């Protein structure tokens, strides 16, 4: 019988022979740009002609589920069932990508033709998300090739609208609750903490966008003749914002602040150093005092002014502007209820003398916050398996700083959610020159092969 070590060695040989590269090359060629009109046929083809047949080769039965939201791309559900007593993993991937923006890529690169340059594999979707789900599909294939069975049940859910805010995902999870039932959710998207640091994240911060507007009168008025006589909406709005968040980024509105950080979250974050070498330096004196940088971004809320406009910023004139608007965003952690945010803002503004400031929710849908306890048995199990493969424990983030539709899996399906990202912070996801690192993909393939091997070998759990 082949051993775990044999399976990992075979996976790496398979990688070194160019097979994963070939799979991802084929998938990158599908122009699944869900934000563009006319992308529906390609989104469907990606599922029916590429993902479905690839999973069928591994013994999965699959079906296409139409999106309940008109005009949004379909879903694919697949299942390989080996036994009722075995654990079941639900996996997830998204087949859509952001627009290619072909003309903006470096000379010689195309978003739709995978190009290898040193350790980099360039192409739209290599990092987000085709490369990542390709690694996970391949790892299942490696365990099957080595052992003949997974010794666990695996389900897949693919969507094709993640880059447009996952329309219909929640409804499909509600309707297909039984079909998607599992013991654990394991998926790959987003970046590792750093390229060389295997990482788990267990949820994501929520995101709530809102607009503040001060609209005082019809038009502008000469600032010499009227300055001192009539109120300035820009001044009022700036002060209203200052009542919500201070000059160091500390949130002043109690209802927008999270509950105390749980001890298990503090422990998980104790060794985490956020930021990246190519990124901006982390400001030491920014944000909630007394927190480490990791706690500030992963365990606390942040209130950001994303845009502010009064008068004509490009061509200022000597006039008191009639109107000021700002667009703000609250990133929030578990324990905050977004349904109460608007009311809390209204009450806060009124209490602080800003009745003239109108507040309304932004057009972007609110993302809810999720977080699995970093000491949950499934987290320990996945972390132990990765440590056995790589020789070092992975970094564990209780949640990502950014946002994901993880509430569909954590709240609607009620699953412990463990994300194992195979990308890295400088992957240019959503930008020209998107790429994945071959070294990270190779290690990711080994990690996932080892993980599926271990879950099957020890179905009862650690």
Angular region, 148: left φ>0, alpha ψ -120 to 50, beta rest: left
Segment contacting Zn ion by CB under 5 A, of 32-40, 120-128, 229-237, 259-267: 120-128
| Structure tokens that stand for 257 in this block | 């602040």
Segment contacting Zn ion by CB under 5 A, of 126-134, 346-354, 391-399, 408-416: 126-134
Closest to Zn ion by CB, 110 or 164: 164
What does the alpha-carbon distance between residue 459 and residue 83 come to, in Å, rounded to a whole number? 11
**Binding of Zn ion by 128 (CB under 5 A):** yes
Segment contacting Zn ion by CB under 5 A, of 115-123, 125-133, 152-160, 179-187: 125-133
Burial of 74 (0-12, 13-18, 19+ CB in 10 A): buried
Closest to Zn ion by CB, 163 or 288: 163
Closest distance to Zn ion from the beta carbon of 97 (Å)? 7
Report yes or no: 372 and 410 within 8 Å, Cβ to Cβ.
yes
Closest distance to Zn ion from the beta carbon of 28 (Å)? 14
**Closest residue to Zn ion: CB criterion:** 128
Closest distance to Zn ion from the beta carbon of 21 (Å)? 21
Strand ranges, E, within 230-350 = 302-310, 319-320, 323-332
Name the nearest CA neighbour of 187 among 291, 45, 90, 317.
90
Report yes or no: 310 and 323 within 8 Å, Cβ to Cβ.
yes
- Residue 305: its H or E element: strand 302-310
Closest distance to Zn ion from the beta carbon of 429 (Å)? 6
- Cβ partners under 8 Å of residue 47, min gap 6: 64, 74, 75, 76, 95, 158, 160
Segment contacting Zn ion by CB under 5 A, of 123-131, 179-187, 317-325, 328-336: 123-131
Closest to Zn ion by CB, 77 or 98: 98
For the beta carbon of residue 230, count every other beta carbon within 10 angstroms.
Answer: 14
Closest distance to Zn ion from the beta carbon of 376 (Å)? 26
**Binding of Zn ion by 434 (CB under 5 A):** no
Closest to Zn ion by CB, 335 or 432: 432
Closest distance to Zn ion from the beta carbon of 51 (Å)? 17
Closest to Zn ion by CB, 164 or 325: 164
Which stretches of the chain bind Zn ion, using CB under 5 A?
Answer: 128
């Amino acid at each position: 019988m082949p051993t775990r070590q044999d399976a990992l060695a075979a996976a790496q040989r398979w990688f070194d022979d160019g097979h994963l590269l070939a799979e991802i090359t084929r998938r990158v060629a599908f122009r699944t740009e869900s934000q563009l009109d006319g992308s529906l046929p390609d989104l469907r083809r990606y599922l029916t002609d590429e993902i479905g047949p690839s999973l069928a080769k591994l013994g999965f039965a699959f079906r296409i589920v139409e999106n309940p939201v008109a005009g949004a791309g379909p879903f694919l559900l697949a299942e390989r069932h080996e036994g009722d007593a075995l654990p079941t993993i639900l996996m997830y991937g998204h087949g859509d990508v952001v627009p290619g923006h072909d003309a903006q890529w470096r000379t010689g690169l195309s978003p739709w033709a995978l190009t290898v340059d040193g350790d980099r594999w360039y192409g739209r979707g290599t990092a987000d998300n085709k490369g990542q789900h390709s690694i996970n599909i391949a790892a299942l294939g490696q365990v099957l090739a080595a052992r003949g069975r997974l010794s666990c049940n695996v389900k897949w859910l693919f969507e094709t609208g993640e880059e447009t805010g996952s329309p219909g995902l929640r409804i499909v999870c509600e309707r297909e609750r039984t079909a998607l039932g599992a013991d654990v959710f394991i998926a790959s998207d987003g970046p590792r903490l750093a390229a060389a640091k295997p990482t788990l994240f267990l949820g994501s911060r929520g995101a709530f966008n809102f607009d503040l507007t001060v609209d005082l009168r019809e038009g502008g008025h000469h600032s010499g003749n009227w300055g001192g006589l009539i109120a300035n909406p820009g001044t009022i709005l700036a002060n209203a914002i200052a009542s919500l968040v201070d000059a160091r980024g500390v949130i002043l509105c109690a209802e927008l602040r999270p509950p105390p950080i749980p001890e298990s979250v503090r422990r998980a974050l104790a060794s985490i150093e956020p930021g990246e070498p190519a990124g901006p330096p982390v400001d030491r004196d920014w944000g909630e005092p007394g927190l480490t940088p990791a706690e500030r971004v992963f365990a606390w809320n942040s209130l950001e002014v994303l845009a502010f406009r009064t008068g004509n910023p490009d061509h200022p004139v000597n006039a008191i502007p009639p109107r000021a608007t700002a667009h703000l965003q609250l990133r929030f952690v578990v324990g905050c209820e977004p349904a109460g945010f608007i009311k809390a803002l209204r009450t806060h503004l009124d209490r602080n003398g800003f009745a003239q400031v109108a507040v309304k929710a932004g057009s972007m849908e609110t993302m809810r916050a999720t977080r699995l306890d970093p000491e949950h048995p499934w987290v320990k199990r996945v972390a132990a398996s990765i440590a056995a493969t790589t020789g070092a424990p992975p970094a564990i983030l209780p949640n990502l700083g950014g946002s994901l539709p993880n509430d569909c899996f954590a709240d609607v399906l009620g699953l412990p959610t463990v994300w194992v990202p195979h990308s890295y912070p400088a992957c240019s996801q959503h930008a020209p020159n998107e790429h994945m690192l071959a070294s990270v993909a190779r290690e990711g393939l080994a990690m996932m092969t080892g993980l599926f091997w271990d879950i099957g070998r020890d179905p009862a759990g650690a």
